[in-house]
Homo-oligomer: A and B are copies of this chain.
């Protein structure tokens, strides 16, 4: 019998990644595609899965489980994505649609919520490995959190717990993509930071948060937008700390790549904001931008029925997937 492997697919607002990983945690190959929108995003996924099935055959491994992570409001039991604004999806029966692909029809496939599984990955082999109560704040195109209390992920009554990106941080503040005003997301997400910079500076040529961070020493607009974003994060996190009292807050997603430039300033603002309440450690995930991909692979391991095995993988192993010589497609 061929050695086993699983596939983890992480659908982001910008790109989809697929990681083919052995059941021992070794990355065999990874792929990245632009996500597309609406039906086109479904077509991207279908062709990527077919390609990965072929990839598994090429590597001589047996595909034993597939985990697919989607943003938005995802019902994990049925595999339906009720709403994902960035993808233009409403009531998409994602698991059912993907299970109909002939090339992978025999492989157990499960659909999960991206931030929830990034959070489970953080607790399994990331910054929160030994914590029972923690928060994983994903700051990417949008902002959401995976909240874990006494070892269990908070789902909420309708499955939408953790939407902290839509906490109000500025009364009657800037319009958010969600239609509300003053949301944390509007000030501190990747999308929010770039929209606010473009509106303030009149420039449309800064299209990454890394550029914005680099520019803040000489560009006053970049400085103001960044500082206001960090202030908004401090306000949102302060309320989160008062509410759920986490032992550690792990930062994931594109904006967290700002690293110390983010954590030092944010930690100072947060301590000032929190007053008497002590602030838990604020850590950029050692999984770097891999926590979503790691979560997808973990869900694939669960689909294959061997998720316990994944608890022995280290953060170094997992974060190395992105640098694997076989994984160039996903860099």
Chain A: residues with CB nearer than 8 A to chain B? 131-134, 145, 147, 149-150, 152, 154-164, 166-171, 178-180, 235, 238-240, 242-247, 273-278, 280
Most buried by B among A134, A239, A243: A243
Known pairs A149-B149, A166-B277. 8 more at Cβ < 8 A? A145-B243, A149-B161, A150-B154, A159-B245, A160-B245, A167-B242, A180-B275, A243-B244
Bound CA span A134–B156, Å: 9
Contact yes or no, A179 B275, CB < 8 A: yes
Contact yes or no, B277 A163, CB < 8 A: yes
Residue of B162, B235, B246 touching A157 (CB-CB under 8 A) = B246
Residue of B149, B179, B276 touching A276 (CB-CB under 8 A) = B179
Contact yes or no, A163 B242, CB < 8 A: yes
Contact yes or no, A242 B150, CB < 8 A: no
Contact yes or no, A133 B157, CB < 8 A: yes
Residues of chain B lying within 8 A (CB to CB) of residue A157: 131-134, 245-247, 280
A172 to chain B, nearest CB (A): 11
Bound CA span A238–B178, Å: 14
Residues of chain B lying within 8 A (CB to CB) of residue A179: 275-276
Contact yes or no, A243 B243, CB < 8 A: yes
Residues of chain B lying within 8 A (CB to CB) of residue A164: 239, 242-243
Give A161's nearest chain B residue, CB to CB: B245
A261 to chain B, nearest CB (A): 23
Contact yes or no, A170 B171, CB < 8 A: yes
Give A245's nearest chain B residue, CB to CB: B156
Bound CA span A145–B158, Å: 20
Contact yes or no, A168 B244, CB < 8 A: no
Give A159's nearest chain B residue, CB to CB: B245
Contact yes or no, B235 A171, CB < 8 A: yes
Residue of B145, B149, B166, B275 touching A156 (CB-CB under 8 A) = B149
* Nearest 4 Cβ contacts at the A-B interface: A156-B245, A157-B247, A180-B275, A167-B239
Contact yes or no, A245 B158, CB < 8 A: yes
Bound CA span A163–B178, Å: 27
Residues of chain B lying within 8 A (CB to CB) of residue A273: 168, 180
Residue of B163, B178, B243 touching A167 (CB-CB under 8 A) = B243
Residues of chain B lying within 8 A (CB to CB) of residue A180: 273-276
Residues of chain B lying within 8 A (CB to CB) of residue A159: 245
Residues of chain B lying within 8 A (CB to CB) of residue A171: 169-171, 235
Bound CA span A158–B122, Å: 20
Bound CA span A279–B313, Å: 41
Residues of chain B lying within 8 A (CB to CB) of residue A244: 147, 154, 156, 161, 243-244
A28 to chain B, nearest CB (A): 37
A73 to chain B, nearest CB (A): 11
Residues of chain B lying within 8 A (CB to CB) of residue A276: 178-180
Bound CA span A239–B168, Å: 7
Residues of chain B lying within 8 A (CB to CB) of residue A133: 155-157, 161
